[in-house]
Structure 1
Amino acid sequence: MTVQRPEEDAPVWPLSRSWLREASRRELLPVWFVLGVWTVLWSAYAVQNLLMRSWGIFPDAARILFSGRATGGLHLYALRPDFQFGPVSVLVAAPLAGLPLHESKWIAGVLMTVVGLWLVAVIAGSRAHDVGVPAPQPLLVGGLLVMPVWPLLSLTSGHLDDVLALGLGIFGILHVQRHHPVWAAALLALAVDSKPWALPFGVALLALPRRHWPKTVVVFGGLIAAAWLPFFIADPATIAAVKFQLHISYGSVLALFHLSGPIPPWVRPAQLVVAVGLGILAVRARVLQAILLATVAGRILLDPAIASYYTAGAVMVAFFMDRSRTWRLPWFTVAVVVLLWAPQLVQPGNDWYLVTRWLRFLWGVGTLAALVLTLLRHGRPAVARQSRSAA
């Protein structure tokens, strides 16, 4: 007979002394060993042909920002409108900007991979309204599913901005659930300051009691303004970064509908509407993890330039969503692995690109539909409880 450890029911905070002590307890050591080996194997596979393809843009941005030249500093985004990441990503990359590129690649790649495994442990210990220490089964299952995919982001592509947006978004949601309005607003704002596509994450703040809304609006809006406005004030040409247009790639779902050339003007607003609409449903149902998954699903479904590392974000937030439910088979996570990640192991070709476009379309539509059904089902009892408490 298995006895439930009292510590597993106690709310703790990741990286606190008690969390680290419990996360390294003896019964978890075999799980950590398996996941460590598993992560190293898939990391080696991820870098066998390509290491940190996009990492160089981050130290480049940091060098421009801190160059002191007339064409540098706050002229960063006017000079390089193709840098579609936020100032927080630049600041985080700055300590590595002075190193040789190859060395900084390895340091950043290892750190981002470790962060991925840490986020799996945090999510494995998360529950509906708080954070606990990870139990062996969720940690093992989550790690086995997520860590083969995560190196696409941390090691193959090296997109620091997405790592920051996802991590800060997850912790922002956890702070909303813990009713820490200032911390929640700050972390969600920093996610937007890392990567603008994280803007819909802010809908989660509506789940806080209304008395906290003015405070969260000030913190959320203030930190976003503090990060971005100096660039626009220093150089009005920074608006070019907002107007920067990607072209629709052959692998994009949009290409299924014979769209090509520059991104249509309706795409970004459509992504925002999808994420915010489902986010409001998630707030109503008190399933805030769905906000992150809806945002990523809308991005993959409608983005003009689909990259393999998008799948890493999808699998992480899908696992976060699965942990919001009573622990069963993590269907949202499995769907990402089967429909988005596994096909990437096949040698690409023109015919296979067409197949993967349809798989992305099916995953995106299916995930959003499943989220709507899940949130509507959860929303009915939540509204009923609110009505009874108001009476």
Structure 2
Amino acid sequence: MTTSGSRWALPAAPPPALRALLRHRAVLLWLAVAVPALVCLWGGWVPGDWVFFSQGADVLLGRGEVAPWQLYAAHPDVQIGPVPLLLTAPLTLLPPAVGGVLACALVAALLPLTCRWLELLGEHWRGPSPWRPATTFVGGLFAAIWWWRLGGEFAHPDDALVVAGGVAGLLVGARGRPLLGSVLLGLAVSGKPWAVGVLVLALAFPGRARWRRLLAAGAAALAPWAPFVLLDPATLPALSGYRVAVWSSAPLALLGLAEEPVPGWVRPVQFLLALGVVALAVAVGRADLGPFLAVAARLALEPQAWDYYFASLVVAALVADVLRRRAAGPWLTIGTVLVLYDVRWLVDDRSVMGAMLLLPLLAGVVLLLPDIGARLRLWTSPGGGRAPAGAAA
């Protein structure tokens, strides 16, 4: 990890005191999320969106006013995929305050677990590095600034499961089981369709049959929804017809859509944008930026601007930090947190806040530009079109 001749180079390995601290990084990361979240829940307060999990689970468990397969037709406002609903259904059988606290603890546990999987993914993707645990730990601490709100304030274990499931899929695929990894990516995306761009990362796994992996990921993403769509034809019209108002602090407000129902074209364009930018990242050998671009595309065309959206973006930035080819340190993660946190709390202009949500997508594209230029030169050179030996997917 050292660079010869550079006085700013890192030592070959972390110092003993830091290594001793890193041995407890899983517990420290869990506490960094759990403590502020549980303080937020002190006194029996139920986190904001836990009611949607309870409502959805009641229907799926046969305790609702409609049949289980009519869930999304009757309640299109339950914007949670079937898999997260089923995984969290046991918690909804408890009193709301108790179930909400346990859901918060689950969300807290998923951050250190995801960071550990990221360390293992980095070893398979880029090789061993003694500094990688420090990178994931420091990046995880910055991610905790937004992650605790995901569990304690809003109760969105579905978003946390999408992030953890996506990293698990990347790890399994990188370990030599690309088809299974692709299926895991698809199941993760099924929980929150805004993550659709992550499906393209199935093309980045080593080995042949790339398009078969992409089809497997797509099929896994659609499969959990199939019973609802096939058994109740009203499901798709209900979901596609559900409209929320565009916030004045959302990027869409810059188009003059503030306080209006979100137009029907937004979701398809959002999905195409996410698929396109992630496909571009994979094509130029920067699959490490894929998750960041997938979430950034979501933010750029999201009609609302809830704070918990940033939790997914920050962990996606940490994926890029862990997997990038050169340098050490969670610099994209830290920059993302500082910009989003400071601007959001210090600026009171809603149009500025809306424009700010475009910054992650712009930053991701800018980071791609050197690789796009290099790939274009390769393709246009005599005998071009072939990636150099050992190029990363």
SS at match of 1:250: coil
Q: Does 1:165 align with 2:162?
A: yes
Shift of 1:126: 3.7
- Structure 1, residues 123-176: CA drift from partner, whole Å, max 9, x if none? 245427168697442133212311112112122111122112111112222333
Q: What's the counterpart of residue 290 of structure 1?
A: 289
1:126-141 correspondence to structure 2 within 5 Å: 126-127=121-122, 129=125, 135-141=132-138
Q: What's the counterpart of residue 108 of structure 1?
A: 103
Q: What's the counterpart of residue 147 of structure 2?
A: 150
- Any unmatched runs of 5+ in structure 1? 6-24
- Structure 1, residues 94-118: CA drift from partner, whole Å, max 9, x if none? 1112111100000010111121122
- The alignment's TM-score, normalised by the length of structure 2, stands at 0.82
Q: What's the counterpart of residue 238 of structure 1?
A: 235
Distance 1:105 1:149 in 2: 18
Q: Which stretch shows the higher mean deviation, 144-153 or 352-361?
A: 352-361
Are 2:49 and 2:155, in contact at CA under 8 Å, matched by a contact in 1? yes
Which residue identity lines up with residue 322 of structure 2 in the other structure? Answer: R
- Any unmatched runs of 5+ in structure 2? 1-9
Q: What's the counterpart of residue 86 of structure 1?
A: 81
Q: What's the counterpart of residue 366 of structure 1?
A: 362
Q: Which stretch shows the higher mean deviation, 373-382 or 335-344?
A: 373-382
Structure 1 365/138 Cα, relative in aligned 2: closer, same or farther at 3 Å? closer
Distance 2:257 2:317 in 1: 28
Q: What's the counterpart of residue 225 of structure 2?
A: 228
- The alignment's TM-score, normalised by the length of structure 1, stands at 0.82
Distance 1:318 1:294 in 2: 9
Which residue identity lines up with residue 139 of structure 2 in the other structure? Answer: G
Paired residue for 2:59, among 41, 45, 64?
Answer: 64
Q: What's the counterpart of residue 301 of structure 1?
A: 300
Which residue identity lines up with residue 22 of structure 2 in the other structure? Answer: L
- Structure 1, residues 155-201: CA drift from partner, whole Å, max 9, x if none? 21111221121111122223333342221121111112211112221
Q: What's the counterpart of residue 43 of structure 1?
A: 37
Distance 1:109 1:282 in 2: 33
Distance 1:370 1:196 in 2: 25
1:328-367 correspondence to structure 2 within 5 Å: 328-345=328-345, 351-361=348-358, 363-367=359-363
- Structure 1, residues 215-266: CA drift from partner, whole Å, max 9, x if none? 4255334333431121112111112113322220122111123213111233
SS at match of 1:248: coil
Shift of 1:93: 1.4
Q: Which stretch shows the higher mean deviation, 88-97 or 207-216?
A: 207-216
Distance 1:31 1:208 in 2: 29
Q: Which stretch shows the higher mean deviation, 252-261 or 374-383?
A: 374-383
Q: What's the counterpart of residue 189 of structure 1?
A: 186
Q: Which stretch shows the higher mean deviation, 250-259 or 313-322?
A: 250-259
SS at match of 2:320: helix
Which residue identity lines up with residue 305 of structure 2 in the other structure? Answer: I
Are 1:124 and 1:142, in contact at CA under 8 Å, matched by a contact in 2? no
Structure 1 37/203 Cα, relative in aligned 2: closer, same or farther at 3 Å? closer
Distance 1:300 1:335 in 2: 17
Are 1:248 and 1:262, in contact at CA under 8 Å, matched by a contact in 2? yes
Structure 1 224/301 Cα, relative in aligned 2: closer, same or farther at 3 Å? closer
Paired residue for 2:253, among 243, 246, 255?
Answer: 255
Structure 1 134/149 Cα, relative in aligned 2: closer, same or farther at 3 Å? farther
Shift of 1:44: 5.3
Structure 1 52/315 Cα, relative in aligned 2: closer, same or farther at 3 Å? same
Which residue identity lines up with residue 103 of structure 2 in the other structure? Answer: A
Distance 1:88 1:131 in 2: 33
Q: Which stretch shows the higher mean deviation, 375-384 or 144-153?
A: 375-384
Are 2:26 and 2:112, in contact at CA under 8 Å, matched by a contact in 1? no
Q: What count of residue pairs does the alignment treat as equivalent?
A: 368
Paired residue for 1:206, among 203, 206, 217?
Answer: 203
Which residue identity lines up with residue 307 of structure 2 in the other structure? Answer: S
